[in-house]
Structure 1
Amino acid sequence: MSVEAVFPELVPYRVRTTRLHPRPGRPGTHDSHVGGPMLWPDDEPWPLCHEPHRSEDDGYAPDDIRRSRAAGARPSSRPWPRGEDGPVPFVALAQLFRRDIPGLVRGPGGADLVQLFRCPSAHGPYLGRRYTLRWRDAVRTERAERFLAAPPEVPLLRWEHELPEPCVLHPEEVNTYPWAEDDTLPASLIARIDAWDDAQAAEHGPDAVSYQYDLSIPPGWRVGGWPTWASTGPMAIDCASCGSPMRLLLTAEGCEMDGGSHSWMPLEDRDPALSGKESILGGPSVARPTRLRFGRDGDLHVFVCPADPGHAPRWVLA
């Protein structure tokens, strides 16, 4: 179904996004990936989180998680080590080369490689998370004499979903349209979209196509495009340094597909005779390939400043 055929007014709002389609695999240091080895010069310090961290009672050893996943089992927890309150190594989540990812914007100084990290420990009473980006010049970095063989790891992770599964990417460009709520679109257009959704549901039942989940923004990891606002409602994201409206760099999501986004599911991953979650072929390796979670199964949006890429990014769970 063409959303522009139903709502021609959306044409001026069309923005391209690149779906990354991560799948478990064996990415290398020179590849774009989620959860794989970073292109990291051996003489460069690994990023550490120096903030105070929430104390825990137990956790999961990274190697236990890896062995359990390979065996199709759940890992056993271990008592949390005491007396280790120093800096915590960030966990590498993703590495994206502009040469691989259509639409990936350049960073400070024209950087064309971005690396995403998350602190594996919770912060404060609301279990807040800390993220960081590292921008690089890909060609210059690839000329380093030696690269880090293995990053430092914490002895235990509080949750199994703190450890990403190494995934290769299969980029695909698609069109996206704004989340239809509040003032993201003209009020008259949002009213028409809501009425159309109601008519679809009345005619086709709970599996009916809807604008918000089937026609506007795809689920899963993606670069650029429009952000989703399912949990928070639309928000204005402005640069803390200069006040400029920020641009969506990247969305990270734990779930690549679910029963509510059937139209975005690749044809090879669905059973056309079924609907909803039952139609997903391949199990967790297809539906949740990275094994990561963000908040309570939300979307992590990473925004950057278009006026000055050197300004600090903003992280929004939505």
Structure 2
Amino acid sequence: MAEWSSRVQNALAALPRSPAGADAPEAAGLSGPEWTLLVYCFLSEPPFTLDELRLWLPYTSLALIEQWFKEILATLNVQRVTGGEFIVTDKGANLVKDWCRRGRGLLAQQHPLPEAALRKLATALEQVVTAALEKPTAKTVRLAGSRRLAFEPLASSMARIDQALTDLYHFRDDCHSAAWSAAGLDGPEAEVLTLLWRREVRDVHSLAALLGEPRGLDAEQVARTAQRLASKALVSIEGDQAEVTAAGRALREGIEAATDRHYMPPWTVLPPPQLQALGELLTQFTRALSRDRQAESLPHSE
């Protein structure tokens, strides 16, 4: 259920990332968000449109995506092939590939578990990814895109694990988008409903402050989004205060349940004993990486 999504996210978060990778945006002449968009361009099936790119950033305004995209065009990392279609240039593709290779080089040096255990973990995760691709339970735009990161054979077990975890992370995003779309919401509506459902914010002003810069939404746009939810009786608004109604809670809980229904079938390609073993191995893997990271952060005595 949801525990598998959490296990995947926790394992990904524990994986070390190459310090050199942090320099990738600057090397490409881009800001951090622009670099992320370039990676999504690389993951998109060519030729792609801006509307297709938005599938990777469903909570972000099209205006902000267009602003970032102009810089990617200006730095010659993508090029136009027709009026509204684009491809990644060799320059842009090589930047993304070099970034991946640096990260995989660092991962190859990590040995959080014995090699036999790492191979076993990689193989089991890859079986789940294959099942998700062969019998998709949702439209797998992000999963298919994530597979484009495997543009060459993965030499180490750690690189295989990283790729499979990344694939499953994006597959979960596919499942979640399918769930909120089926519930009749657009991206901004889904995000606002989620923030209110989790009680991370309780007023429209705080929503606007939280979503404004990262999502490219001004206060008026956020307020209109909240009002659309109110018109559907999913949110109640009194002055600046906003909270989810009983109908809103039921819908959001239904979205979570639908996400799990889409996400779980590929995991059942493994028989119950193997699935349990995978869970235990993934927990050991994450804990070992976390311990290694904590040990590295401790001060060393002279």
TM-score interval (norm. to shorter): under 0.3
Q: Normalising by structure 1, what TM-score?
A: 0.22
Is the strand fraction higher in 1 or 2?
1
Q: Normalising by structure 2, what TM-score?
A: 0.23
